[in-house]
Structure 1
Amino acid sequence: MTEPDPAISAVLQAVPALVPRLRENARAAEDRRWIPEENIELLEDAGVFRLAVPRRFGGLDASMAEQIQVVTDISRGCPSTGWVAAAWLEGAWVASQYPDEVQKEIYAAGTVRTSGGLSPTGQFTATEGGYVLSGSWRFNTGCRGAHWNLVFGVEERPDGTHGLLYALVPIEEFEVADDWHVTAAAGTGSFTTSATEVFVPARRVVTAEELVGGATTDRSNTGATGRNYGLVTYVAAMSVAVFIGAAKGAYETFTERLPGKAIAYTGWTEQRDHPLTQIKVATAANRIAAAEALADGYVRLLQDRADAGEHPTVEDSVTVRGRGGLATLLVLEATDALHDVSTASSLARDQHFQRFRRDLAGLTRHGMMTPFTNLELHGRLLLGLEPDTHYL
């Protein structure tokens, strides 16, 4: 049995203590459409943004399960902050898939915050020493507080063929639009970033095959490092962690308000004495527990694969998406069960429950994380059909 790392254990212990403060800051995050600087500082001081940085660069090199635990706890406090933290951890992990010379550049400070997206909405034009990049990327979570931006785009080659490329670019090379006006997860600050003829050195550009499939060889993370999770499966697992954390936050804030709360216009002076409330609370608790069990299973699957020095197979990736889809449905149903027995006062903006529910409903609209799309994908595999997506 591996001994727990004291530095990682310190982060795992520090983050739950931040939950009350993150929860109190959640309305401010929503109002300003971006998480407060205090939230970033609290997580930075706790060591969160070192979790996905390789140890040789001063990071903590935490396992997926450890990162999942941290993201879940952050999301119990504020789903928007959890979504941003997950995005930045994902971006930090992405840099570990680049050649070593780029890793040295990205991880120079031992902690890093990288935003980005997976939509190929940029144009790469080859030039001497690298590429000229232009394009816009919507839903760029965390861009206002990032150091780097991971962008995806298309290269049109001289022979008329096309290639898909990813680039890591300093965030100051982009314009950030003030266009994030939404009714859920407003605090994520998922604004549009744009680049106009930005030069990107060749060393910071890799093909989609290299990034997603781990084809590059000039890097120290090849072999049985225990961290080769696969881009899409890693993002999917981290996203579901946010959903589970948000559902836990909804459950906690709902049940905390019950003692002494009456049911208006009835003879019930204690809502928690009502059988329907008891049934709905138990239903919610067990659906959240079931979602966690599903997530624990596929996290172990991915970690076992990584520990063996292998990338996830197509079957692994589809399974993660399918089980993550069901976990997502379960936590949505859990918050709906609580909403069924909530009262009018829960609609007030200063009540946390309504924000958890709205944020969860909004975040699960992410194009790659909608539950029925992922269950359909898993069903195709189970029925012997080919997946109908390249995002695996």
Structure 2
Amino acid sequence: MTGSETESTAVRDAVRTIVPRLRDNGTQAEEQRWIPDENIALLEKAGVFRVGVPKRFGGIEASLAEQFAIVTEISRGCASTGWVAAAWMEGAWVASLYPDEVQADIYASGAVRISGGLAPTAMFTEVEDGFLLNGSWGFNTGCRGADWNFVAGVRELPDGEMEPLYALVPMDKFEIADDWHVSAAAGTGSFTTSATDVHVPRQYVASAEELVTGTTGGRSNVGATGRNYGLITYVAALSIAVYVGAAQGAYDTFVERLPGKPIAYTNWTDAREHPLVQLKVAAAANAITAAQALAAGFVKRLQQRADAGEHPSVEDSVTVRGQGGFALRLLKDAVEDLHDVSSASSLVRSLPFQRFYRDLEGLSRHGMMTPNTNLELHGRLLLGLDPDTLFL
């Protein structure tokens, strides 16, 4: 076992011990529309915020499979906490695409939390020593607890064309709106952040093309580092771990409550004895297992590319999106099967099952993750057509 594997296993084991506490805190996270400080402290103590940081800065530099396993465990406790942790972990990896001097600044403490707004909803205006940033980003997951914000915008070139750019900016440069009022994933704290004439030094800004293709200059970690996964592809792949964990959490909490539970207005005194419940539980368990297998396949594929010093191909990226979309469909079906045979008491807000159910439904609406869009994308590739998107 390598050093990173040993450390990653220790983090995963530490996270596993706090899963019950994350579940207990679910109601508080939902009510305050942001995960409790205790959750953040528990994740920090477990070493989660070192997972995506390069080893040369004191981090773990975990493989994609190791990151996936850790996010899955967190999400078994709380899907909102898992979504935030995944976003911060993804942000920590994104910083490794910037020049070495930027990395040294951002990774200075050996652990970091970076939120992101990937939609280019702002303007960069070039000035002598960098850019002025103006705009806002909705759905900025984890912004209230982040150290940095990874945000997108455009600048106008001399010929009138618009060039997409991404910047890393300290979170204290942004205003955070109190506008996250939703029926699912409420604890993610995905508030809107805004910037007004925020100065960003030139080295903290990179073109979208450079970041997506992994060709930014001024950095030593290019090539066969084993961690060059491709920006959009990496985010899509790791995010699936949240859905896997949430579905497993729903399954666990459903089964835990079942022994001795009668079926109302019938003669069934133990729901476990009913054939329909048995069928639904088996279907859910196998759907989750199938989704895990799909995810393990595309995670392995991306890691093999990275270990070979190769950037993911278009086929790799589209396959991740398509198989991830189908895995998400399986996970939704699994939890829906359990929901079909749950009782009215499962609607009680203090119980984790109903929260897993709602969070999974809500998070499946994410533009990059929604199954229909991703299956269409994969279908185009399988039929020999152009993917017809730049977001790969």
Identity of aligned residues (%): 69
Question: Which residue pairs with 2:85 in the alignment?
Answer: 85
SS of the counterpart of 2:43?
Answer: helix
How far, CA to CA, are the matches of 2:40 and 2:299 in structure 1?
Answer: 26
Amino acid at match of 1:270: D
8 Å contact from structure 2 (residues 80, 186) kept in 1:
yes
Give CA deviations for 1:96-139 in whole Å, capped at 9, x if unaligned: 00010000010000000000121000100000110000000000
How far, CA to CA, are the matches of 1:289 and 1:216 in structure 2?
Answer: 38
Give CA deviations for 1:190-229 in whole Å, capped at 9, x if unaligned: 0000001110000100001111101123212101000000
2:304 equivalent to 1:269: no
Question: Which residue pairs with 1:143 in the alignment?
Answer: 143
How far, CA to CA, are the matches of 2:308 and 2:108 in structure 1?
Answer: 29
Give CA deviations for 1:281-306 in whole Å, capped at 9, x if unaligned: 00000000000000000000000000
Quick check: 252-261 or 155-164, which moved more?
Answer: 155-164
Question: Which residue pairs with 1:24 in the alignment?
Answer: 24
Amino acid at match of 2:235: V
Question: Which residue pairs with 1:379 in the alignment?
Answer: 379
How far, CA to CA, are the matches of 2:58 and 2:176 in structure 1?
Answer: 30
SS of the counterpart of 1:139?
Answer: coil
Question: Which residue pairs with 2:53 in the alignment?
Answer: 53
Question: Which residue pairs with 1:366 in the alignment?
Answer: 366
How far, CA to CA, are the matches of 1:296 and 1:70 in structure 2?
Answer: 14
Question: Which residue pairs with 1:316 in the alignment?
Answer: 316
Q: Which runs of 5+ in 1 are unaligned?
A: none
Deviation beyond 4 Å, 4+ runs, structure 1: 1-4
SS of the counterpart of 2:362?
Answer: helix
How far, CA to CA, are the matches of 2:322 and 2:159 in structure 1?
Answer: 39
Tell me the TM-score normalized by structure 1: 0.99
How far the C-alpha of 1:2 sits from its partner, in A, is 5.0
Give the 3 Å change call, closer, same or farther, for CA 245–5 of structure 1 in structure 2.
closer
Amino acid at match of 2:268: W
Amino acid at match of 2:216: T
2:128 equivalent to 1:128: yes
Question: Which residue pairs with 2:187 in the alignment?
Answer: 187
Question: Which residue pairs with 1:13 in the alignment?
Answer: 13
> What is the aligned residue count?
392
Question: Which residue pairs with 2:106 in the alignment?
Answer: 106
How far, CA to CA, are the matches of 1:79 and 1:281 in structure 2?
Answer: 21
Give CA deviations for 1:247-306 in whole Å, capped at 9, x if unaligned: 000000000000110000000000000000000000000000000000000000000000
Quick check: 75-84 or 157-166, which moved more?
Answer: 157-166
After superposition, residues 160-171 of structure 1 pair within 5 angstroms as 160-171=160-171
Amino acid at match of 1:373: T
Tell me the TM-score normalized by structure 2: 0.99
How far, CA to CA, are the matches of 1:10 and 1:293 in structure 2?
Answer: 23
Give the 3 Å change call, closer, same or farther, for CA 5–328 of structure 1 in structure 2.
closer
Amino acid at match of 2:179: D
Quick check: 280-289 or 382-391, which moved more?
Answer: 382-391
How far, CA to CA, are the matches of 2:271 and 2:6 in structure 1?
Answer: 44
2:304 equivalent to 1:304: yes
SS of the counterpart of 1:134?
Answer: strand
Give the 3 Å change call, closer, same or farther, for CA 150–6 of structure 1 in structure 2.
same
How far the C-alpha of 1:237 sits from its partner, in A, is 1.0
How far, CA to CA, are the matches of 2:159 and 2:209 in structure 1?
Answer: 20
How far, CA to CA, are the matches of 2:9 and 2:242 in structure 1?
Answer: 20
8 Å contact from structure 2 (residues 94, 231) kept in 1:
yes
Give CA deviations for 1:323-381 in whole Å, capped at 9, x if unaligned: 00000000000000001100000001011110000000000100010001000000000
